Structure 1
């Protein structure tokens, strides 16, 4: 089992900000390896 944590700032105002590289990296892993969609619990 692997755990990948992508840190970043929530909100559309920070979407392309360098401080959201963790979010962007996690999204890229999902895209590349065809994981299921994100969900909130």
Structure 2
């Protein structure tokens, strides 16, 4: 999956692919959690 466009909607951030298909919604807290996890896993 390639994220081409990320739209900030009323219910969080929309993740879309090249065809404009919405894959899901991210809430700001989810994004922060992923960033923190990625930082911890880096050597």
Q: TM-score range by the shorter chain?
A: 0.3 to 0.5
With normalisation by structure 1, the TM-score equals: 0.37
Larger radius of gyration: 2
Structure with more of its chain in helix, by fraction: 1
Structure with more of its chain in strand, by fraction: 2
